[in-house]
A and B are shown apart, each in its own frame.
Chain A
Amino acid sequence: MSASTVNVVRSPLKPRRMAGRRLANGLITTGAWIAAAIGIFVMGWILFTVVIHGIGAWNWAFFTKLPPQGQYSPGHGIANCIVGTILITFGAAIVGLPLGFFGAIYLSEFGRTGRVASAIRAITNIVLGVPSIIAGMFAYGLIVVPSHHYSGFAGSFALMFIMLPVMTRTAEDILNLVPNELRESALAMGVPRWRATLGVVVKAARSGLITGGILAVLRVAGETAPLLFTALSSPYWMTLRGPSSYFGGPTANLTMFIWNSANAPDPGLVRMAWGAALLIIVAVLGVNILTRLLFQRGKEW
């Protein structure tokens, strides 16, 4: 009681000294700038390091030849890893993107309220936070154990499981941005709900959905932990059938190549790991920035 009385007597007529308040404000502002500078500096440092170390590994053989088996020797490359990463990521996207897209349509068009939709939304949010190594364990138990062999397909499944909630939540947010008037006018024309949704709502949100889809694919393209127990790695070219195929056995990929080569005693192999890292960085960040620039307008309604 007495404390508040003191407060009332003091505060309205005698404000605290301005200098102290300005100082606190200035300190915090400076601190915030320093924090941002640290973030930007780290980003730049990583980019710089990867470029400096990785560019030396890039040559024609690097993109066209197979990795060395056993001892390192020059004239080798990671061509099979590039193909494998593209294939494994594509395999994840071809299932994960449509599934997430239609799931998002349910949440935004039919399930804005209601218990089922809320439950699905909550679980999707939680799956969003499942560590990627757990997704790898999931694919291991579900596909590798019953089929008795590792495969790129199992890797795709793990990546799909990570991509699915990302796509669902992103697409839902984007579809929610479409104004309701558009839905109402489409329905007023007498078209069925499904046509109004796919032909009008989705079309209106098109560029945002494309951005979301690409970012969801990029989110998993550089993953390693889900491939540890599924795709593994391979020094061979992929075949259509047999133990070197996508369904039949370990499948080469860029991230597992880095994981296996980072500790290598031979500096040549470590340089190849940096080269692979540079390739991933260029691809992931490049497409990321390009997508944001190209489809930026889709964000503003």
Chain B
Amino acid sequence: MSTAEVEIGTPPGGAGAKAHVRRHHFSWGDPLFRWFTIACAAAVAVAMFVLIGVLVKNSWLAIHTNGVSPLTHVDWAPPDQFGALSSLFGTFVTTVIAMIIAVPLALAIALLLVELVHPVVSRVVGTTVEMLAAVPSIIFGLWGFLVIAPLMGNHVEPWIQTTWLGHLPIFSGTPFGDDILTAGLVLSLMILPFITAVSRDVLKMVPTVTKEAGYGMGSTTWEVTRKISMRYALSGIAGAVFLGLGRALGETMAVALIIGGLTTGIPHSLFSQGTTVSATIALNFGEAQSKLETSALIELALILFAITMVFQALAQVWLARARRMSGSRA
């Protein structure tokens, strides 16, 4: 400090300019720090592009050999049939079942947490439901396979067949329990906490003033929710649903344990065994007999990646729209 002041006191000209530089002496610390953090932040993005490159490279053999035939053929039956449609069909059906069960449940829980109960109760209930998200997939699988599947096969599914629903072809066949319906059911419980958490945050973003205006008009809680909160939070809820959808599409271990891994044919009944894209990969990778089969499995992974990316991107777009509407930052 003192040297700087002395130098400022020297006559103007070259020496003065030098003093100016020295007083605000340039430090490498800040630019280095900035670039270091940019490099760290960019690592995720770089990794994502490397990931795409690696998947394409390792599935190239299958892409080159089979062309688009996986997308037009049903059966996955190595060594020569690498159809993806049976897997894609299973992924689609289990995801639909999971969404049908999870979305209404999640929205109802989110509504309860935000509008209906005391904050303390909300916190306890919310944390308990959130804990479902912390239960590892393999444990859902173990529970689903050893507890839920026998229950479904011995009691629930035979009971469904005794009701009028049993006449529908989708509930026909011998119920074994480890089938598409059970897989979808367990899947719904796995994505429930994610949809709940995001919808709760979205519902919380609805301005209190707007809701109070509704209550001031004499509306009931449900009317305020339906006519004000839901409208306000619609894009955010769409984002939450897509987020859950993306999770359901890629979920592996639990589904692989429960669904049975039947990779040929399109099942006609929900009580039939089946497979999903991720289950086919998980169940067949270890026993792959040829380079071509391994490569074809990686091609399946690439297809799964592409599908989930679409829904993730959709979720992000809707959530960004919700945030813009409420004026809060990302």
A172 to chain B, nearest CB (A): 9
**B311 partner residues in chain A, CB cutoff 8 A:** 129
Instruction: From the candidates B104, B129, B136, name the one contacting A39 in the complex (CB within 8 A).
Output: B129
Candidate in A21, A120, A137 with the most chain B CB atoms within 10 angstroms: A137
Which bucket holds chain A's interface residue count? 35 or more
Number of interface residues of B (CB under 8 A): 88
Asked if B43 and A225 sit within 8 Å, CB to CB, the answer is no
Contact B252 A124 (CB under 8 A): no
Interface residues of B in 111-147 (CB under 8 A from A): 111-113, 116, 125, 127-129, 131-132, 134-143, 145-147
B50 to chain A: which residues have CB within 8 Å? 138, 142
Tell me the complex Cα distance, A98–B41, Å: 11
* A122 vs B316: C-alpha distance when bound (angstroms): 8
Grouping DSSP codes into helix (H, G, I), strand (E, B) and loop, the A interface class, with mixed when no group exceeds half, is helix
- Considering the chains assembled together, what is the distance between the CA atoms of A22 and B67 in angstroms? 61
Count of chain A to chain B residue pairs whose CB atoms are closer than 8 Å in the complex: 273
Confirm or deny: A288 has a beta carbon within 8 angstroms of a beta carbon on chain B: yes
A119–B46 alpha-carbon span in the complex (Å): 12
CA distance A121 to B320 in the complex (A): 12
Given A161-B47, A164-B43: A105 and B129 interface contact (C-beta under 8 Å): no
Pick from B3-11, B81-89, B169-177, B218-226 the stretch touching chain A: B218-226
Cα(A38)–Cα(B102), bound, Å: 11
Q: Which residues of B are in contact with A by a Cβ distance under 8 Å?
A: 27, 29-30, 32-34, 36-38, 40-45, 47-48, 50-51, 54-55, 57-58, 104-106, 108-109, 111-113, 116, 125, 127-129, 131-132, 134-143, 145-147, 189, 192-193, 196, 218, 220-223, 225, 243, 246-247, 249-253, 257, 278, 281-282, 285-286, 298, 301, 304-305, 308-309, 311-313, 315-316, 329-330
13 more CB-based (< 8 A) A-B contacts, given A131-B251, A134-B308: A32-B108, A43-B131, A43-B135, A46-B143, A103-B37, A105-B37, A107-B41, A110-B38, A138-B55, A141-B58, A258-B138, A259-B138, A280-B139
Give me 30 A-to-B residue pairs in the complex whose CB atoms sit less than 8 angstroms apart, sorted by A's number.
Answer: A15-B218, A21-B222, A24-B222, A28-B221, A29-B222, A32-B108, A32-B109, A35-B105, A35-B108, A39-B105, A40-B129, A42-B132, A103-B37, A110-B34, A120-B44, A125-B312, A129-B243, A131-B252, A133-B304, A137-B298, A138-B50, A192-B27, A197-B33, A219-B134, A222-B136, A222-B139, A258-B138, A262-B146, A285-B135, A288-B131
What is A's interface to B at a CB cutoff of 8 Å?
A: 15, 21-22, 24-25, 28-29, 31-36, 38-40, 42-43, 45-46, 49-50, 53, 98-107, 109-112, 116-117, 119-134, 137-138, 140-142, 145, 161, 164-165, 168, 176, 192-195, 197, 218-219, 221-225, 228-229, 255, 258-259, 262-263, 270, 273-274, 277, 280-281, 284-285, 288-289, 292
